[in-house]
Each structure stands twice: as structure tokens, then as C-alpha cells.
Amino acid sequence: MTGLSGTVAGPVRKRRRRLPPALAALAALAVPGAAAAQHAHHEPIPAPSAAVDAAGPRAARAERPDRAPRAIEVTAGGDLAAAIAGASAGDTIRVAGTHHGDLRIEAQLVLVGAGPDARVIGSGRGTVVTVDADSVEVRGLAVAGSGRSLERDDAAIKLLRCSGCRVADNRIEGSLHGIYLLESAGARIEGNRIHGLAELDESRRGNGIHLYASSGNRVERNRVRRARDGIYFSFAHDNDVAGNDIADLRYGLHYMYSNDNRFRGNRFEHNAAGAAIMFSRRIEFRDNVFAHHAGARAYGILLQTAERVLAEENRIEGNVVGLFMDNAVAGEFRRNAIAGNGVGIDMLSSAEGNRFTENAIVGNRVAVRRQGESGVNDWSVDGRGNFWGDPAVYDLDGDGVGERPYEAGDPFVTLAAGKPALALFQGTPAARALAWAERAFPVFDLPHVRDPHPLASLPDGAPLSRASPMTEAGVELPALALAALLLALVPVLFARIRRLGAGEASR
């Protein structure tokens, strides 16, 4: 056969598995619409009826070929699809040059690029490379040209109900989803460079790496740009994410109905949110960077209906909001640097039962903003509170802990909440003077948080960088702007005073 070297045997026996009718019907409803419906997260949806355990849907058995594995070379102009169909378990197919057509791998193979020109271009009507066998490796290829159907979840590379596969060091572009795991387990997705369909509207793009009902996988050292979400999890439990670089998309990391996952050592920049954890429990994240998320609704970390998260030694800096908490309960936040953000921590009234200790919450325009009467949260653990970067915290006995409780909260933000134009004056000397006056002579009873044991110095392990404090926080406005601020606040202040007076009169 032109372009092939080595003897190619007849097609191997295909190992298709038929689902029971009930499960097939459920998959037809749930799986194709998973990507298209991933935005509708306001109401919980039922979990898949069958979960994939760590062993995967197939028995992890090694196929024993009756001959030695072969190395098959497919050069430019060769029939790559025929080579794959004719290969047997254990064979390695080395690809050189450009090849067209959608491929399906149904035996335990290694498909590897033989050089930087190794390229597979799909038909534009489906998935380019579909893996339907256990322990397959796809490595070192440039893959492009998938379809654009969110209903079919078209992708450059799709793992279809398999276990123990490896997808590594590929360059993916011009495809809807980059790498899609469907009910697959024990895979390693590493070292891939994925660039989404930037020409499409964000809502019509696929995700860089998408895991649906897939557990026990490891995703590491990937670079994702211009997709919808960088790495997306739906009903995907017990996965590890490490060392990825994700930027210029919607959510860098997005968990939906996915529990007991971990991510560490990743970098998220210039997205709408670095990580969005929604309707999920027991997510652990350590040593990540969430930086420079800007826009009308931009967050370093977004927690929505998240339970028992653990956040340690993360750097959250330069975001509009560092940490946003809505119905986030029973979380642990230790030794994080929350610095140089517009709002360091933004808490809705539904956030409760969380514990904060040894965090560096410094250089933010607003350290903590409580919206309404939020639930009870602990701001110190075992006598160790947080470092607020405020010289008003005095440590007279030298034990590293301030002698008096520290109250964090900005009365200006609360008073001006109904007047967006006043945001211009946030952080100015007049606004700071108002905060000082409220602490000295409290009359408004405004929401704040109370740290009973504030730290007098930066705690060990909090990854505070020199560039953390926002330069805008110290901007001084001219006297005319300050006068305008005071004039704008007069109606607010008098309204408060009248309400207080009316309350006293009613007594």
C-alpha cells in the first residue's frame, strides 16, 4: 500500500459494546446536550444513572497479540485510516505529513507524530480522532478541523468510554472542543496546546478539555486559549489538575456537579473567572495563581453552591473581585494571598460556616464586602487570624497576634451601593476618612467582619508577591473631586440620620 511500510494484517475484531435500552436513551438525552446546556446551572439537574469507576467501563485487560508488536510508518499520501483499521493491539503507528479524514481507533495502539509536520485534518463534520479502546496513546500530532456542533459535542480528540488512555503533546486548533472525555477513566491528558475557535461567539465555542461522567483522570501541563472554558467538569469526580496555563476565555476551570476533585499549581489569567466551582463538594485547590480577571462580572474565584472547599496557599491578585461566595458553606481558607483586588472577598448572605486563617488580605480597595447580613463565618482558627496589612494592628507582647480584634469592612461601599457613580471615589482620602470615622464613632451599624486575633506580620506560606497591591488603590484625587464626593454623600448621610432619629422618636 502506498505510503505504508511493514505488513498490515486484516482488520481487527471490533469491540463495540451495546448499552441497555434504558441507558442508551438516557445517554442520548444527557450526553449530546451536556455542552450546550452547561450554562443553565441555576437549578440542579439529575446525575447520570451510571457512574464510571476508576477501572473504567471496560475491564482493564491486556490484549495478548499472537505476534510481536509492529512499528508502522505512514508517510504523506498514505492511507492512515486503513493503517489504523489494519493494526493490532500493541502496534505503534508513526505519522508523517498531512492526512485527511475522521479517524476511529478501536484497538490498543500508539498513534504518534513522527515530526513537527505530522498533521490530521478532519472533515469538519464530526470528531477528528475518536478513541474507542482502552490504553490508547495519541501523541505529538497537530489536529484540526472538527465539526462545530455542540449537540454532537464535536472535538479534535474524543475518548469514548475507555480507560488508561494517554493524550499528550498535541497541538489542537480549529476545533470545537479540544479534548473530550466521555465516561472515561484513568486517562492522562498532558502537555497539549489547545486554541479554540476564537472567531465564534463565546457561547458557541467548545471547551479546551471537557470531562463528562469521567473519573480518576489527570490533566496536567496543558495550555488553553480562546475556548469557552479551559477545563470543564460535569458529573466528573476524583480528578487531578496540575500545572496548566489557561487564559483568554470565560472560566479557566469550571466544576458542575463534580465532587472530590483537586487542582494545584495552575495559572489562570485574563478570563471572566479563574475558577468557577458550582454545585460541587470537597474541591481542594492549592498553590494556584488567579490574576488579572477584569470586566463587569470578573472574579479570581467564583464559589456558587459550593460545599467544603479547601483553599491553601493560592495567590489571588489584580482581579475586580478576588473571591466571590454565594451559598458557599463550610469552606477552609488557609495561607492564601488575596491582594491588590478591587474587592478582596465578596460575600453574599448565603455564605456561612467558612473559616479563614493566616491569609494575607492586603492592598485591596475593599478587603471584605458583606452584602446583607451574611451567615456566621470564623475569621480565626486556634487563635490565629489573618494579616490585613493595617498598621493599626498592634502586637505589644511580640507573639505575632494583635492585641485587639480587627474589623474589616468599608462603610463607604455600603453607603454608596445604590449610587454607582460614587465608585470613582472609592479608596480616596475622603472615603478612607469616612471609614476611620465610622470605626471611631460607629453610628450606622453597617455590615463588617470581625477578626478576633489579627496577625501583625505576613504569615509563613502566604504567597504574596511584590506586585500585589493595586496601584489604583492609592490614587489621590484633586480637591474639587473630594468636594464632589462629600456633596454626593450628603443625601445619603442625612437619610440615615433621619431614619435613626425616627427610630429614637418611636421609642
In the block, residue with C-alpha cell 494579616: 387
Spatial CB neighbours of 64, under 8 Å, sequence gap ≥ 6:
none
3-state secondary structure 245-263: EEECCCEEEEEECCCCCEE
Pick the CATH number of 72-249 from 2.30.40.10, 3.60.21.10, 2.160.20.10, 3.30.9.10: 2.160.20.10
Say how far apart CA 254 and CA 409 lie, in whole Å: 30
pLDDT in tens, 208-244: 999 999 999 999 999 999 999 999 999 999 999 999 9
- pLDDT averaged over every residue in the chain: 82
Is the confidence at residue 478, as pLDDT, over 80?
no
pLDDT of 495 = 62
Domain ranges of the chain: 72-249
pLDDT in tens, 103-159: 999 999 999 999 999 999 999 999 999 999 999 999 999 999 999 999 999 999 999
Q: Residue 230 burial by CB count (10 A; 0-12/13-18/19+): exposed, middle or buried?
A: buried
Alpha-carbon Rg for the chain, nearest whole angstrom, is: 27
Q: Of 444 and 199, which is predicted with more confidence?
A: 199
Say how far apart CA 500 and CA 169 lie, in whole Å: 66
Sign of CA dihedral 197, 201, 202, 207: negative
pLDDT in tens, 49-108: 544 454 444 544 345 556 789 999 999 999 999 999 999 999 999 999 999 989 999 999
Spatial CB neighbours of 220, under 8 Å, sequence gap ≥ 6:
188, 189, 190, 191, 240, 241, 242, 243, 244
pLDDT of 15 = 43
Q: Check: pTM over 0.75? Answer yes or no.
A: yes
Is the confidence at residue 334, as pLDDT, over 80?
yes
**In this predicted structure, which of 14-23, 381-390, 404-413 has the lowest mean pLDDT?**
14-23
C-alpha cell at 289: 495563581
Say how far apart CA 402 and CA 453 lie, in whole Å: 6
Give mean pLDDT, residues 290-304: 94
Give mean pLDDT, residues 449-474: 76
